[in-house]
Amino acid sequence: MMELPLKILLGFILAIILHELTHLLVIVYYKIPIKSIILTKWTAFGFLVDNEKYINNRKILFLMHFLPLIWCSFFIIDTNEPYLMMFPLVNILGGAGDMYFYFRIILLEPEKRIEWANKTDEKILKSIIWKKELN
């Protein structure tokens, strides 16, 4: 049997990976070009994509920002399992940022969305620890 801190760490790592893989699933399904894979100080790892390919599609915006919340349901499987507690915790906290970006984008006029998204990417680039460019 695993020690409690190890279970919590495992759940934390799995929750982050699954959260980001869910974003990647939407990116790949809708063929949104990935510019780079990044590791930042604040948001763990993620993807910088071609914003113009999806920024005005409300369906893609919704799925990209809300689909990772599905991992919160893993806690229901066994509420006594400490590592499963990390799935809703990580995804709600990570999802809060995703929800902020979603509502911030859809409240903008369509012609201002791409400008805002690109400025946001520039801010993210300032906190990068590691970056892998993709063509």
Residue 63: the pLDDT is: 97
pLDDT digits (tens, 9 = 90+) for 77-90: 777 887 788 888 88
Residue 84: the pLDDT is: 83
Averaged pLDDT, 8-15: 90
Residue 12, pLDDT > 70, answer yes
Classify burial at 93, counting beta carbons within 10 Å of its beta carbon; exposed 0-12, middle 13-18, buried 19 or more: exposed
Residue 81: the pLDDT is: 81
Residue 43: the pLDDT is: 65
69: Cα separation from own chain's centroid: 10
Domains in the chain: boundaries: 4-133
Residue 86: the pLDDT is: 87
Cβ neighbours around 3 below 10 Å, total = 9
Residue 1, pLDDT > 70, answer no
Check: CB of residue 5 under 8 Å from CB of residue 13. Answer: no
Residue 64, pLDDT > 90, answer yes
Core vs surface per residue 83-92: b (16+ CB within 10 A) or e: bbbbbbbbbe
Residue 85: the pLDDT is: 86
| Amino acid letter, residue 12 | F
For the whole model, what pTM was predicted?
A: 0.88
d(Cα 130, Cα 68) in Å, to the nearest integer?
23
Integer-rounded Cα Rg, in Å, for the chain is: 16
